[in-house]
Amino acid sequence: MKEFPPCFGENDVQVAESSISTTRALQNVAICVYECESQGHSCLITVSWTKNLMGEDLTVTMDDSGDQRLYEIEIQPWLFSKRKGSQTLLFDTTKVDLFWDLTGARLAHGPEPLEGFYLAVILNQELVLLLGDLKREALKKIDNDDLPHCEEVVLISRREHIYGKRYYNAKTQFRDKGQIHDVTIEFGFDTVVRAPCLEILVDKKVAMEVQRLDWNFRGNQTMWVNGFPVEVIWDVHGWLFGDDTDSAVFLFQTHFSLQKMRSYQSDEDSPAVTRAYTQQLREHSYPMQGRDFSLILYACKIE
């Protein structure tokens, strides 16, 4: 990963290196980073869902705007006594209350529950994060009608392990509160040019193709999803040359700032719908402005 293009942040690179090294244990990981405001200050809350042969883990960490770790809480819900509960921690002048209920959580293929659960984080008597579909049950458990809520919580990053032989599937929202898309990475062989190739499908439609993958095993390209650009950076060296991981890394990056969208509008190849979308951004103050999103997929090959 040290040769991967420098669009990763320092923390992302560290996660990439450590995460790939653990894929041999078939550890399924989904890491979501949320940006929220608490008492006028921005903070990041990272929720990590892990599933392996030993069971399931849930870790919640919080960092302030200066990347200072405020707290880290690890829960092992596969222990029956911890599938539902609460915990309170004190750090100097910071009080953190955590409430969760995973007793009826339903999973699909990944480690993150789809429904039947809640996870609530309260920072200094302010509800800063509430996940899951059982929000009413969570608020009853908190039992504080006057508790202030964080006005805006945005998912800004997601990292996930996916497994397959030829097809690798994931679900994502390329923008906060946007449509949930099915993303499929297909690794195959082009019989015409006699070389490995790569296709990325979004909602079962081809959004991007890479030919001669043996020469282009690292690179970047822009694909279009519902008229807005998504930058894709890939590294499939592990797939092709059988290193210690047999894994590939894909970074999907969206930009919604006006400056970035103008750069796409100046491209003659940009779709007309994107130019219209950029015009809307100019005329209206959309909450998504400046809220970029990144999805990192570690595609692990299984035999």
Classify residue 92 as exposed, middle or buried by CB count within 10 Å of its CB (0-12, 13-18, 19+).
exposed
Whether residue 157 is contained in a domain is answered as no
Residues 197, 131 share a domain: no
State both tokens at 141: 């458990």
Residues 235, 187 share a domain: yes
| Full pLDDT tens readout for the chain, 303 residues | 333 333 333 333 333 333 444 344 567 899 999 998 877 778 889 999 988 777 788 899 888 765 667 677 888 766 555 788 888 888 777 788 999 998 888 877 778 888 999 999 998 888 999 999 999 999 888 877 677 777 678 899 999 999 998 999 998 888 766 788 999 999 988 888 788 999 999 999 999 999 999 899 999 999 988 877 899 999 998 888 876 567 899 999 987 654 455 555 445 444 544 454 445 444 443 444 446 889 999 999 887
Residue where one domain finishes, among candidates 110, 125, 151: 151
State the pTM of this model.
Answer: 0.78
Residues 280, 211 share a domain: yes
Whether residue 263 is contained in a domain is answered as yes
State both tokens at 295: 């999805």
Residues 61, 187 share a domain: no
Whether residue 3 is contained in a domain is answered as no
Asked if 112 and 59 count as a contact pair (C-beta separation under 8 A), the reply is no
Asked if 67 and 51 count as a contact pair (C-beta separation under 8 A), the reply is no
What residues contact residue 175 under an 8 Å CB cut-off, 6+ apart? 228, 254, 256, 288, 291, 293
Q: Which domain holds residue 100?
A: 10-151
Q: Would you list the DSSP string of the chain?
A: -TTS-TTS-HHHHHHHHHHHHTGGGT-EEEEEEEEEEETTEEEEEEEEEEEETTEEEEEEEEEETT--EEEEEEE-TTSGGGSEEEEEEEETTEEEEEEEE-TT-B--SSSS--BS-EEEEEETTEEEEEEES-HHHHHHHHT-TT--B-S-EEEEEEEEEEEESSEEEEEEESSTT--EEEEEEEEEEETTTTEEEEEEEETTEEEEEE--TTT-SEEEEEEEETTEEEEEEEE-HHHHH--SS-EEEEEEEE--SHHHHHHHHTSTTS-HHHHHHHHHHHHS--TTTT--EEEEEEEEE--
Residue where one domain finishes, among candidates 108, 124, 151: 151
Count up the domains in the chain and report the number: 2
What residues contact residue 272 under an 8 Å CB cut-off, 6+ apart? none
Whether residue 143 is contained in a domain is answered as yes
276-to-14, 254, 268, 271, 296 alpha-carbon distances in Å? 38, 17, 14, 9, 29
d(CA 30, CA 98): 20
Residues 242, 168 share a domain: yes
Whether residue 156 is contained in a domain is answered as no
